[in-house]
Chains A and B, each alone.
Chain A
């Protein structure tokens, strides 16, 4: 930050010199809840203070610099947002983000276009993370045996305790996956100082099996990095690389880039084959999909390897028990070097080993996949060992950094019992969770938007995580706690991170480089180099000689949850209310069964069932999911939290008690029994068929090539006239949007981005049940075809901004009107709430505030609001505005600069977040704009065009690319 800005910020607070303010600052603001239930004045003070902290002496971080991403603080204008580059880390892997801040208050997360994992997009978790920052249920104070204590007491305790630590016998540290170079350096320092200590990294949804498989395949510790833009034929074996097995939005971008319909005869669209037990997002997007039990994937992988003739295997040519496999194999062989096979983290190491052998055999190494040393090394077995040691009384000090093993460690580890046997347990976490409740010390952890750190993307690229606000609840970082434990020279996260990098660079330009890295959000030259690999054929042979894993009548597979991931986002209302893209369930998880399996077991939707495996049992409600594999049940993890904030406590049911270290991905020999009780599950979509209506239009690539006007022929042609005088749309900007259904994978990111941008409230399970969810954009999901093995299509539906809007004519008070730029504007303060507009909207995209959904929010929760968007009161209608606040912002900017807006300058929130770049927004009066080009595409059509509403949002039909050899063979 510049000198000028510092002065400016200082002068902002005349009260900086006043004793009350100093006292308030010194109290490590804000400590207790009492400060938060304050007045508007208190809030303003807080907001002011959160900037002022950077400039005031005497506060905790006097020197820490925050550099804006693209707009200098020099030109800072109150009311205009500043963007800071940072990272969000999930499962140890960093995604680059830009944090939009208003007056020192972060309000929105965007992807960092320069970051390799993001490339401008983010996922739903990143979007919702802003809400977690302002979660009033976050832990606010150090706890000792559940009683309030201070950081100083903890410091004194640790200093004293560690003096007796000796060589670290009995000291165990448990954390989530760590990619942070500075924290890893601290870890090394700690282990150097206490050589007998142990630090275990684990993730409940980690990639342990992949690392083990690669170790088997290539004889060295490796990780795979995929290049989906290089793959023309993709085979996913229980790998949800478009969904929850992937935390890098850039993968989706790469994948989608190969799903664009070909422009020339040489181009082609990639083809996706999925073989999986549950119905994942990737499976739903597949061109061919086969449903198998989770244990059967191994057999499929072997059969495929045989079929391909990997390592000189004899080709049987029949596909073995899978007749479709030979065609698949031929397709792969035709695309040597341009194909890709993946296995999911639920599959055992052997499957991963086979998969990478196959990739290598197909010449994909270095093209669609390359290998590097692993960025994170998680080890679940080590966690179980630590638990065993603890239960045996061999652990004296257990430090848990940001993890919740009592909730999510394998059931056989029995971590709760283990914790109870350890005399000193120190838990760092953002909430007082199941683990915190059993710990002797609990330390509040700072949110990633509040703290300094660093982290690496999957390809190794490192970035600095810079805070955008002072810790709201006085949290600390893992690095600060470890520094304290290790007696490290630097104690503050800022110093730890900065010194690490300055030392690593060791250059006189270090300071400049630091600032540049903060600005860019990536540290150049940190990507990991590819490692040359060579498979060992003998290992392959011995692996293939191993008996195939036993399959059973009924198996259960543990899948991540769209709302809570592994349970960590349970207290995030936005995520809880966002419907699962496949089941459309909200505020719950359920055991998903195929219709046939449900019939066989005699269970119905909403039945509470007891699921038993390996002598362990859980209870869960049943959800019948068309397209699920028979003989399998999917159990989404991350629900049924018992110690959690008010939002997530006891939401859903917890499958972790069934999950052991031996059966971590899936478990065989499962029994399901009805309990006789019923449970109410709530969805946002009650009807799943298109009823033969041309809503989502689609064709196969071949059909479309032969007959490009096919898409238009799928719907009625209606040239109608209007009774009302039509608007003149020939002048000025005319906004329009094109949504490419071929690119959309249904990932929910747009729903969350819209919620964050437009201050959309959550309503809770009961209100969703009553059909009152407020999301401005819906992801309509339709099943078509065989109910056992349907095809799935998504359609994002927000306000279509009709040129002849049916809502406008019926509003008695003229609260909804057309703007000269073709927007269907909603005037909230004129709306009286007759709901007539919503009734007359054929797309049903208008949302009514049936109750005061913003009622009872604590002041800190209101800080998440985007100040550019009105918060709607009860009794008024609301809907998508094409992010009119963003349009106006850019228009004003362009006007001030005396120019016309450039195409692509305005990004709507849904467009900006979309990892698949399925949404394009722009001026349809400009024939050269991207949206105009897309509107001329033969795939372009309007939804319900026959009603003469003339929507400004149009859709581009979906294209599937099935293998002609496999016609009629899907759905084994």
Chain B
């Protein structure tokens, strides 16, 4: 087995790595004894998940009043968290679908990871619209299901209905795509399994994959099709989420720039989340040779680019608010920058626009600690972006007499923390029981590089 080397490009797999090495290092993680650190992490995130369950139980049994939402701020942490988590998911789809179609081969070692993140982020996201309604036990009325009102349909003019379809489609397609990509690797794990339980579980999950040419042919075709299906979703889901705001009449929400701005922001935050998690996983499981600095640097470049788009959007919003001559619009934006939530606005600007500028420097871009800190800050900034859009627009709109303030309660804060707990718990389970790097794809890439 030859090492992979291309004169013009930095290699995507480092060192003397054979195909067997790839299998060993990836499948080995799943097969090894559970590391003690994993248990520690799992205990922590599991506790947070229990906190989430407790908070949601409290919420459902008592009412939305346990949160800080009020009149005029009908949405606050709930929808902020929803948009935040949906945004996180976007990196996964972008990496797995769009980069696949564009034949960006560097995606192979991070796509599984990113796709898993998509699924878990969308799970966290979907939870919020469900629980933010006043009567969650009636939330299914948002779906066009047969009902007692002689076939009453939901209101198709409402962007929330579009959300329901967008998010559920997104979740379904992402799950299928991810699972399909997992099949060859699941079969590998099945073949390597020593215990009966593992054989059965991985056996069932791998759906009888034998690696025959026919299987590969169908697999490749299905994968391509799903990549094609997923691609518009990258753009559509967050566009539709942005319609929740853009279609309304609220100053600060009612803006046509929202769809591209939201998509860019989503990719921005998604990549930041991949980087945050990847640098830990890569270091902990010793995958530096598979997830190389080149991968990380590429992701940082994407963050720099999308961060600039987001920064541009912030500037344009202000310009349009002024240019429109609409006094309510002007006030809304002045209020963002100078009002009682100015601290949130400037946190957002600092984290999303200023901090990523450091990625212009190669040294920063290739420094693991630097990128870890920056990616965390970007996620903070992106959470605040949604908070700023939602809360500062709502809290002071048209009639000053109806203005108010939103103050989060401890339930708000713990629910947000709990959603991270759920996300990370799912992630820990993923890295423990499934191959976090797509072995088949890395191997295919190695083979093709060799051939090249």
**With A771-B405, A876-B135 in contact, is A687–B400 under 8 Å at CB?**
yes
- Chain B residues, CB < 8 A from A839: 72, 74-75, 248, 250, 394
* Residue contacts A-B, CB under 8 angstroms, 5 given: A687-B401, A770-B407, A771-B71, A773-B71, A830-B149
Within 8 A of A (CB), among B79-134: 129, 132-134
- Chain A residues, CB < 8 A from B153: 814
A772, A842, A875: which contacts B134 (Cβ < 8 A)?
Answer: A875
Interface check A834, CB cutoff 8 A: yes
Interface centre among A685, A691, A830, A876 (most CB of B within 10 A): A691
Contact A812 B160 (CB under 8 A): yes
- Chain A residues, CB < 8 A from B15: none
Interface check B8, CB cutoff 8 A: no
Interface check B70, CB cutoff 8 A: yes
Contact A691 B331 (CB under 8 A): yes
Contact A852 B63 (CB under 8 A): yes
Specify the chain A residue showing the minimal Cβ separation from B155: A814
B65, B66, B134, B142: which contacts A831 (Cβ < 8 A)?
Answer: B134
Docked complex Cα distance between A782 and B328 (Å):
18
B405: min CB distance to chain A, Å: 7
Docked complex Cα distance between A689 and B400 (Å):
7
**With A770-B68, A844-B72, A874-B134 in contact, is A810–B402 under 8 Å at CB?**
no
A720: min CB distance to chain B, Å: 11
- Chain B residues, CB < 8 A from A780: 399, 401-402
Contact B157 A724 (CB under 8 A): yes
A848-882 Cβ-contact flags toward B at 8 Å (1 or 0) = 11111000000000000000000001111100000
A161-195 Cβ-contact flags toward B at 8 Å (1 or 0) = 00000000000000000000000000000000000
Contact A850 B65 (CB under 8 A): yes
A870: min CB distance to chain B, Å: 15
Interface size class of A (residues with CB under 8 A): 35 or more
Contact A832 B134 (CB under 8 A): yes
Interface check A693, CB cutoff 8 A: yes
Interface check B62, CB cutoff 8 A: yes
Within 8 A of A (CB), among B323-350: 327-328, 331
Contact B160 A810 (CB under 8 A): yes
Interface check B73, CB cutoff 8 A: yes
Contact B331 A851 (CB under 8 A): no
Within 8 A of A (CB), among B387-416: 394, 396-405, 407
Docked complex Cα distance between A843 and B398 (Å):
7
Interface check B139, CB cutoff 8 A: yes
Docked complex Cα distance between A813 and B156 (Å):
9
Interface check A288, CB cutoff 8 A: no
Contact B401 A795 (CB under 8 A): yes
**With A771-B70, A810-B159, A832-B133 in contact, is A778–B402 under 8 Å at CB?**
yes
B278: min CB distance to chain A, Å: 36
- Chain A residues, CB < 8 A from B158: 809-812, 836
- Chain B residues, CB < 8 A from A421: none
Interface check A690, CB cutoff 8 A: yes
A829: min CB distance to chain B, Å: 9
Specify the chain A residue showing the minimal Cβ separation from B403: A687
- Chain A residues, CB < 8 A from B129: 834
Q: Is the interface of A mostly helix, strand, loop or mixed?
A: loop
- Chain B residues, CB < 8 A from A806: 248-249
Docked complex Cα distance between A690 and B401 (Å):
8
- Chain B residues, CB < 8 A from A886: none
Contact B398 A842 (CB under 8 A): yes
Contact B132 A844 (CB under 8 A): no
Specify the chain B residue showing the minimal Cβ separation from A943: B399
Contact A851 B63 (CB under 8 A): yes
Interface check B247, CB cutoff 8 A: yes
Contact B142 A812 (CB under 8 A): yes
**With A693-B327, A832-B135 in contact, is A812–B164 under 8 Å at CB?**
yes
Interface check B194, CB cutoff 8 A: no
- Chain B residues, CB < 8 A from A690: 400
A198: min CB distance to chain B, Å: 52
Interface check A838, CB cutoff 8 A: yes
Contact A835 B75 (CB under 8 A): yes
- Chain A residues, CB < 8 A from B68: 770
A695, A781, A832, A835: which contacts B142 (Cβ < 8 A)?
Answer: A832
Interface check A797, CB cutoff 8 A: yes
Within 8 A of A (CB), among B121-177: 129, 132-135, 138-139, 141-142, 149, 152-155, 157-161, 164
**With A839-B75, A849-B134 in contact, is A782–B155 under 8 Å at CB?**
no
- Chain B residues, CB < 8 A from A691: 331, 400
Specify the chain A residue showing the minimal Cβ separation from B157: A809
- Chain B residues, CB < 8 A from A724: 157
- Chain B residues, CB < 8 A from A833: 64, 133-135
Specify the chain A residue showing the minimal Cβ separation from B406: A771
- Chain A residues, CB < 8 A from B138: 832
B241-258 Cβ-contact flags toward A at 8 Å (1 or 0) = 000100111100000000
Interface check B276, CB cutoff 8 A: no
Interface check A3, CB cutoff 8 A: no
A841: min CB distance to chain B, Å: 9
Interface centre among A693, A770, A848 (most CB of B within 10 A): A770
Specify the chain A residue showing the minimal Cβ separation from B393: A839
Docked complex Cα distance between A688 and B249 (Å):
23
Specify the chain B residue showing the minimal Cβ separation from A763: B65
A849: min CB distance to chain B, Å: 7
- Chain B residues, CB < 8 A from A849: 63, 134
**With A814-B154, A947-B249 in contact, is A850–B398 under 8 Å at CB?**
no
Interface check B45, CB cutoff 8 A: no
Contact B403 A686 (CB under 8 A): yes
- Chain A residues, CB < 8 A from B71: 771-773, 838, 844, 846-848
A770, A842, A847: which contacts B397 (Cβ < 8 A)?
Answer: A842
Specify the chain A residue showing the minimal Cβ separation from B72: A844
Interface check A929, CB cutoff 8 A: no
Contact B398 A834 (CB under 8 A): no
6 tightest A-B contacts by CB? A833-B134, A875-B134, A780-B401, A850-B65, A771-B70, A835-B74
Contact A813 B401 (CB under 8 A): no
B69, B73, B141, B248: which contacts A810 (Cβ < 8 A)?
Answer: B248
Docked complex Cα distance between A846 and B134 (Å):
14
B329: min CB distance to chain A, Å: 12
- Chain B residues, CB < 8 A from A947: 249, 398
Docked complex Cα distance between A944 and B400 (Å):
12
Specify the chain B residue showing the minimal Cβ separation from A852: B63
B265: min CB distance to chain A, Å: 20
A688, A813, A848, A944: which contacts B64 (Cβ < 8 A)?
Answer: A848
A692: min CB distance to chain B, Å: 8
A770: min CB distance to chain B, Å: 5
A781, A832, A835, A852: which contacts B69 (Cβ < 8 A)?
Answer: A835
Specify the chain B residue showing the minimal Cβ separation from A774: B71
Interface check A526, CB cutoff 8 A: no
Interface check A671, CB cutoff 8 A: no
Docked complex Cα distance between A5 and B58 (Å):
52
A688, A812, A830, A848: which contacts B161 (Cβ < 8 A)?
Answer: A812
Contact B402 A772 (CB under 8 A): no
- Chain A residues, CB < 8 A from B248: 806, 810, 836, 839-840
Known interface pairs A844-B72, A846-B71; 20 further A-B residue pairs with C-beta atoms within 8 A, sorted by A's residue number: A687-B403, A695-B400, A770-B65, A771-B71, A771-B73, A773-B71, A809-B155, A809-B247, A810-B159, A813-B142, A832-B135, A835-B74, A842-B249, A842-B399, A843-B398, A844-B398, A847-B71, A874-B63, A875-B134, A947-B398
Specify the chain B residue showing the minimal Cβ separation from A696: B401
- Chain B residues, CB < 8 A from A692: 327
- Chain A residues, CB < 8 A from B152: 814
- Chain B residues, CB < 8 A from A830: 141, 149
Docked complex Cα distance between A686 and B399 (Å):
12
